[in-house]
């Protein structure tokens, strides 16, 4: 039987509409408009498109945008000074520094300069630590979006076997923490995992975040599983995921498409995090 398609575009549109309403209420209650500062260093075309998309999305929900674009040869001192200024600026609720940075700058150092209360990407050591300790804080946007998609699909993680392929700090590790907090039994796989297919076949919830087109085969999917494809691979034929969608949707109960699955959730959750950050500073 063909799987149900989890429509991330529709869920993301709903999240954005909810954020727009909540931003309006927050403004009415506090007299403060939430603000998101984006920092882009250099002229990387893809990064410029991402930052432009984030700023546009902010404007659409009533979040004020602060769009800082710096030359590629910006010094470490100048960049850290800008982050310090944004940390101290009451009009700025959230800060994100678009990665990757030019080679002479250390992305980890710069990210960690962001005040944890304004860390809307959830990537500082403080945010990762809070998540690992089960404390409230700002959670990375893409894994937060996946949790919303699972809820949308009616999947209750408690007691389920969840397998995540990919162990990045950006996605795999925080995803594991969120599923663990939701009482799933979590396995994280990576490039050294022996017999990846066998591990994937155990999964009630199978999440692929690798960056290798169609790595996850149809026969790696347990019948009735929920499959979440985070991968974004640009091929000549267009954008495709890490899962062989056609084959996997024969066996899975529900599956996210690429595009139109996880992707739209990331910006929606960034907007939500910015509102959460504004509430934290209020």
Question: Among 159, 192, 194, 235, which residue sits at the site for ligand NAP (rule: CB under 6 A)?
Answer: 192
Question: At 8, which helix (H) or strand (E)?
Answer: helix 8-30
* 168 is an interface residue for ligand NAP by CB under 6 A: yes
Site for ligand NAP in 32-51 (CB under 6 A): none
Measured CA to CA in angstroms, residue 268 lies from 41, 148, 188, 202 at distances of: 23, 11, 26, 31
Binding to ligand NAP (CB under 6 A) within 107-146 occurs at: 142
Question: Between 86 and 215, whose beta carbon lies closer to ligand NAP?
Answer: 215
Of 84, 191, 197, 246, the one binding ligand NAP by CB under 6 A: 191
Extract long-range pairs of 49-55: CB within 8 Å, 24+ residues apart.
50/98, 51/98, 53/267, 54/96, 54/267, 54/270
Handedness of CA 205, 227, 152, 51 (dihedral sign): positive
Active site residue 177: no
User: Closest Cα partner for 252 from 237, 236, 264, 241?
Assistant: 241
Contact call for residue 167 and ligand NAP (CB under 6 A) = yes
By CB under 6 A, tell whether 203 contacts ligand NAP: no
Nearer to ligand NAP, 46 or 59 (CB): 46
For residue 196, state whether it binds ligand NAP (rule: CB under 6 A).
yes
Site string for ligand NAP, 142-161 (x = CB under 6 A): x-------------------
Binding segment toward ligand NAP, per CB under 6 A, in 81-89, 163-171, 243-251, 271-279: 163-171
Mark whether 106 is an active-site residue: no
Among 48, 126, 232, 247, contact with ligand NAP (rule: CB under 6 A): 232
Q: Is 15 in the site for ligand NAP (CB under 6 A)?
A: no
CB of 190 to ligand NAP, least distance (A): 4
36: Cβ contacts below 8 Å, ≥ 6 apart? 54, 55, 58, 63, 64, 65, 66, 92, 93, 94, 95, 96, 120, 270, 274
User: Is residue 146 within 8 Å of residue 265, measured between CB atoms?
Assistant: yes
Distance CA 13, CA 279 (A): 22
In the complex, the smallest distance separating the C-beta of residue 265 from ligand NAP, rounded to whole angstroms, is 7
Q: Choose the catalytic residue: 22, 54, 119, 229.
A: 54
166 is in an annotated binding site: yes
Q: How many CB atoms lie within 10 A of CB 108?
A: 13
Q: By the criterion CB under 6 A, which residues form the site for ligand NAP?
A: 142, 165-168, 170-172, 189-193, 196, 209-212, 215, 230-233, 262-263, 266
Could you list the active site residues?
54, 98, 121
């Amino acid at each position: 039987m063909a799987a149900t398609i989890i429509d991330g575009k529709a869920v993301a549109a709903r999240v954005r509409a909810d954020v727009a309403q909540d931003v309006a209420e927050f403004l009415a209650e506090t007299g403060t408009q939430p603000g998101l500062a984006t920092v882009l260093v250099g002229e990387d075309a893809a990064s410029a498109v991402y930052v432009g998309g984030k700023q546009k999305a902010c404007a659409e929900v009533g979040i004020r945008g602060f769009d800082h674009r710096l030359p590629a040869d910006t010094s470490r001192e100048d960049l850290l000074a800008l982050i310090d200024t944004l940390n101290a600026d009451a009009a700025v609720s959230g800060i994100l520094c678009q990665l990757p940075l030019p080679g002479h700058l250390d992305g980890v150092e710069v990210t960690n300069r962001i005040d944890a209360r304004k860390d809307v990407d959830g990537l500082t050591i403080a945010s990762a630590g809070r998540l690992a300790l089960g404390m409230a804080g700002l959670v990375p946007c893409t894994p937060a979006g996946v949790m919303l998609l699972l809820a949308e699909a009616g999947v209750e993680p408690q007691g389920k076997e969840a397998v995540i392929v990919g162990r990045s700090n950006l996605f795999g590790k925080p995803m594991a923490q969120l599923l663990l907090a939701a009482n799933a039994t979590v396995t994280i796989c990576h490039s050294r995992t022996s017999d990846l297919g066998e591990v994937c076949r155990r999964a009630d919830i199978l999440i692929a975040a690798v960056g290798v087109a169609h790595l996850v085969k149809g026969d790696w999917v347990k019948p009735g599983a929920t499959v979440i494809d985070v991968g974004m691979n640009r091929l000549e034929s267009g954008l495709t995921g890490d899962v062989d969608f056609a084959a996997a949707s024969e066996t899975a109960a529900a599956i996210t498409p690429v595009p139109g699955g996880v992707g739209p959730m990331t910006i929606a959750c960034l907007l939500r995090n910015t509102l959460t950050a504004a509430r934290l500073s209020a």
